[in-house]
Structure 1
Amino acid sequence: MQPELPVHSARALTGGGTQARIELDGKVYDLRITRAGKLILTK
């Protein structure tokens, strides 16, 4: 049995906006919510 994965709200990550920055091991990624409600994650 696999442990349940954590779920994070994209709206909460963006503070109610459409963009946020996410850091992983010193690298920063941009998270964007599109007008169509899709997610884009870029380096």
Structure 2
Amino acid sequence: RQFAEHPEVRYGITAMCIGIGMGGTVIWENPQWNGESK
């Protein structure tokens, strides 16, 4: 939803901790990004 509201943003990141030294990270690419400069 936030990518659709902000098409000028190309990437996003999500990180989470699940305890005992483990976790995960995801890098998202915005499908609404059109590559145009402002």
TM-score over 0.5 for the alignment? no
Return the structure number with greater relative CO, CA threshold 8 A, min gap 6. 2
TM-score w.r.t. the length of structure 1 is: 0.29
From the two aligned structures, give the one with the greater strand fraction: 2
Q: TM-score, normalised by structure 2?
A: 0.32
- The structure with the largest alpha-carbon Rg is 2
